[in-house]
Amino acid sequence: MSSGGLAVPAIEVSGLGVRYSLRLTKKTTVHKSFVSLLHRPDGPSHFWALSDVSFTVTHGESLAVIGPNGAGKSTLLQVLAGIIQPSTGDIAVRGQISSLLTLGAGFDQDLSGRDNILLAGAFLGINHREMVRRLPGIIEFADLGQFIDAAIKTYSSGMRARLGFAIATAVDPDVLLLDEVLSTGDQVFRAKSRGRIIELMGSAKAIVMVTHDMIWVTEFCNRAILLEKGRIVAEGEPEEIVALHQEHSERARIEREEEVARLLAATPAPLPGR
């Protein structure tokens, strides 16, 4: 697909912002939240999980999203998957999206892995006959043995991830969203997963991956962005962004240790005999 001789990106994000209320929680009713806003005007009522985030992903590109915990990485993936609606900005995702975020949420706990594969196909809008045709390959890739006919509720998190990854990458998506799915300790499955990702990149699929595995970032992604406090602070070659992330992480660790030391130094010593 092209416009004026230029390829149209698979993903375009411009000025994306996601705002969460600090007053509306599961334990706080709308009425109580309104009252608190009247009586506590000085306190913050919301925070921005993402703010002014802009980037594009082209077909055949694998983008890594890295950053410290709480930076907004998973929120970004949920927006791309259509789970969360942005508060501000524009987002365009072109083509069929396959995401473990939505597949995992769609698993029926009482159905077997085999039945959940067919259910996922329906969820993704794939013809039932076509999903039945793909079923043996998905089962073989997931390599769950007899558990494929056991209820999903008996699966470990790693087994769910394996099944989800096998489904998500077998449905020939145009855009694949991954969130720490390859953190399973099974080295054989990790190797198969790497091969599948490379295969998808080679067939001009767009991939966005959130991961803490920096080896994955440098070896299998061709671009990376660093998120901190909901904002993109750097974007570029994976090696450069990983180095910057590690530098920032080390600086933050030192600052935390210094703060703890200051607090301990300021704490009065206990009185003798107490």
Q: Tens digit of pLDDT for each residue in 151-202?
A: 999 998 888 888 988 888 888 889 989 887 666 557 788 788 888 888 887 7
Q: What is the mean pLDDT of residues 226-248?
A: 96
The rounded Cα 134 to chain-centroid distance in angstroms is: 26
pLDDT at position 44 is 65
Between CA 98 and CA 169 the distance in angstroms is 7
pLDDT at position 3 is 43
**pLDDT tens digits along 51-109:** 999 999 998 899 999 999 999 998 999 999 888 999 999 999 998 888 876 666 678 99
Q: Flag whether pLDDT at 218 surpasses 60.
A: yes
In the chain, pLDDT over 70 holds for what percent of residues? 84
**pLDDT tens digits along 101-151:** 666 667 899 999 999 999 988 887 888 999 999 999 999 999 999 999 999
Q: What is the mean pLDDT of residues 263-270?
A: 80
Least confident among 44-48, 68-72, 210-214, 249-253: 44-48
pLDDT at position 183 is 60
Here the tokens at position 43 are 């306190």
249 or 30: which leads in pLDDT: 249
Indicate the average pLDDT of the chain: 84
Q: In terms of Cα–Cα distance, which of 52, 45, 43 is closest to 18?
A: 52
Q: Flag whether pLDDT at 36 surpasses 60.
A: no
Report whether 226 contacts 210 (CB < 8 A).
no
Q: Flag whether pLDDT at 29 surpasses 60.
A: no
Q: Mind listing the domains of the chain with CATH numbers?
A: 1-21+48-95+206-249 (3.40.50.300)
Q: In terms of Cα–Cα distance, which of 176, 171, 164 is closest to 105?
A: 164
pLDDT at position 40 is 52
pLDDT at position 124 is 78
As beta bridge partners, residue 209 has 64, 178
Q: Flag whether pLDDT at 38 surpasses 70.
A: no
Q: Flag whether pLDDT at 233 surpasses 90.
A: yes
**pLDDT tens digits along 201-216:** 778 789 999 988 898 8
